[in-house]
Copies of this chain bind each other. A is one copy, B any other.
């Protein structure tokens, strides 16, 4: 199925790459962009990422067959509100927000329930860059995309969104909202907390010690995610505070055991922990 009009709200790295990829795959006829930064939208037209843009949300979505919301979690509720009256009745809505329970709550606030044509989604992809100039048509190639449709989902809407992502080269999985938020708490949100926490701990000790001066390449890799956008991460933490708190508790328990083993110089336990970790990483990630 070819989509007549795709509207992308938030034409940055994620939204711009979605536009580029679906265009390249010949899945869409026309792409309309929308956002608050007009210079970015002009750039997106110049780059051929979108065909045209509207600053007004209602104008941008009124003829859309598919709307992709690629905006911060904190902007979702207001956008659903503005879109609601303007959308065609059979328009499909999807998003790329990284905490699905938060987006579900946003749309429930506006519609009272989750509309069957809304397909919550999350591409597990990204770079450290942002803005439309960072977007590229292979960002989602061989990457995973998680969709978290509810029980009342319209199956043809689900198929449409799935096809779009697959046309971009992504492998699409479907899971519950709760499972998604727990998995992301573990693999993304918790590691970001550790990186932010480590760098902040050392920064507070650094004045006297010049610690960072002697940091090697491993430290650079390990702390890269601590250079991420603080506002975005504040929003993610608050949106996913329950699942993230659980993961932080599990991690704290592990670290207490590890710290005890170090203090007691318990060689066997240390070797067990490190061996289990290395085996798991080499098997699953290496």
CB atoms of B255 and A248 under 8 A apart: yes
CB atoms of B263 and A245 under 8 A apart: yes
CB atoms of B251 and A214 under 8 A apart: no
CB atoms of B249 and A203 under 8 A apart: no
A241: nearest chain-B partner, CB-CB:
B262
Of A12-20, A64-72, A160-168, A176-184, which binds chain B?
A: A176-184
Partner of A194, one of B125, B194, B241, B267: B194
* A contacts with B: majority SS: helix
Within 8 A of B (CB), among A232-255: 233-234, 237-238, 241, 244-245, 247-252, 254-255
Q: Which residues of B sit under 8 angstroms from A205, Cβ to Cβ?
A: 186, 250
Q: Which residues of B sit under 8 angstroms from A276, Cβ to Cβ?
A: 200, 203
CB atoms of A252 and B262 under 8 A apart: no
Least Cβ distance of A105 to chain B in Å?
Answer: 14
**Is A259 part of the binding interface, using a Cβ–Cβ cutoff of 8 Å?**
yes
Q: Which residues of B sit under 8 angstroms from A224, Cβ to Cβ?
A: 218, 221-222
**Is A130 part of the binding interface, using a Cβ–Cβ cutoff of 8 Å?**
no
Least Cβ distance of A73 to chain B in Å?
Answer: 12
**Is A206 part of the binding interface, using a Cβ–Cβ cutoff of 8 Å?**
yes
CB atoms of A183 and B211 under 8 A apart: yes
